[in-house]
């Protein structure tokens, strides 16, 4: 009953936001949504003034029928059950460290990484193994903090608590603004891909079609 009421309330909010229709409810991954998607959304809305986008964060996959979303941003493989998939881009990773910690513990070769706390993300359990392999080395024992979101990991690295392994769309911002410094070989292949996914029953929903077309162009550029 509670879930049904939530869906009715969401429908009412969408109608109020755009009484002419055209609401698109999108589930986003927190870091991807705030740092990659959100800065670009104004371009979509300018081109599609009749569409209202409603955003909510989800860290794990869910049941589209129960949640009422029209689409979601998904990381991993194209394996969401009963859903259509559109590939956005493969994740690429850069190891980042605060300038202060790097001054204290210089890194000249991959072997110098063994003495540094390596921050870990719950959803990327093998990320450091992949990164070290790309550097031509075997990963040491990883003993850094375990975190559940990239935003927390990024802030921990800025505070000097360890080395963060960040997707390039996050790493590039922090590096450009000189809060973090990249280590060794940058932009190595990660462990998965970002996808737009949607319930098959909504595949021809006009706001979703417009968003899918726009997002494909943005991802390719």
Q: What is the pLDDT of residues 161-193, one digit of tens each?
A: 999 999 999 999 999 999 999 999 899 998 889
Average pLDDT on 45-49 reads 91
What pLDDT, on the 0 to 100 scale, is given for residue 6?
45
2-89+192-220 and 91-190 have identical folds: yes
What CATH topology corresponds to 2-89+192-220? Answer: D-Maltodextrin-Binding Protein; domain 2 (3.40.190)
Kindly state the greatest CA–CA separation across the chain: 60
Domain spans of the chain? 2-89+192-220, 91-190
Structure confidence at residue 67 (pLDDT): 86
Domain 91-190 grouped into CATH 2.60.40.1730: no
The H helix count followed by the E strand count for the chain is 9, 9
Instruction: Give Cβ neighbours of residue 52 (< 8 Å, ≥ 6 apart).
Output: 14, 17, 18, 22, 23, 24
């Amino acid at each position: 009953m509670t879930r049904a009421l939530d869906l009715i309330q969401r429908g009412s909010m969408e109608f109020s936001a755009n009484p002419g229709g055209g609401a698109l409810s999108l589930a986003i991954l927190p870091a991807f949504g705030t740092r990659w998607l959100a800065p670009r959304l104004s371009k979509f809305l300018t081109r599609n003034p009749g569409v209202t986008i409603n955003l909510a964060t989800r860290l794990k996959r869910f049941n589209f029928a129960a949640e009422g979303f029209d689409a979601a941003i998904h990381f991993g493989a194209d394996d969401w059950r009963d859903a259509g998939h559109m590939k956005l881009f493969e994740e690429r990773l850069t190891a980042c460290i605060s300038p202060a910690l790097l001054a204290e513990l210089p890194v000249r070769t991959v072997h110098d990484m063994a003495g540094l706390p390596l921050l870990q993300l719950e959803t990327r359990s093998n990320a450091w193994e992949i990164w070290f392999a790309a550097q031509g080395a075997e990963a040491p024992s990883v003993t850094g903090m375990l975190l559940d979101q990239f935003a927390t990991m990024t802030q921990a690295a800025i505070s000097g608590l360890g080395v963060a392994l960040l997707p390039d769309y996050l790493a590039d911002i922090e590096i450009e603004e000189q809060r973090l410094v990249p280590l060794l070989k940058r932009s190595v292949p990660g462990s998965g891909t970002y996808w737009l996914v949607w319930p098959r029953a909504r595949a021809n929903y006009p706001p979703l079609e417009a968003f899918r077309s726009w997002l494909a162009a943005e991802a390719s550029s």
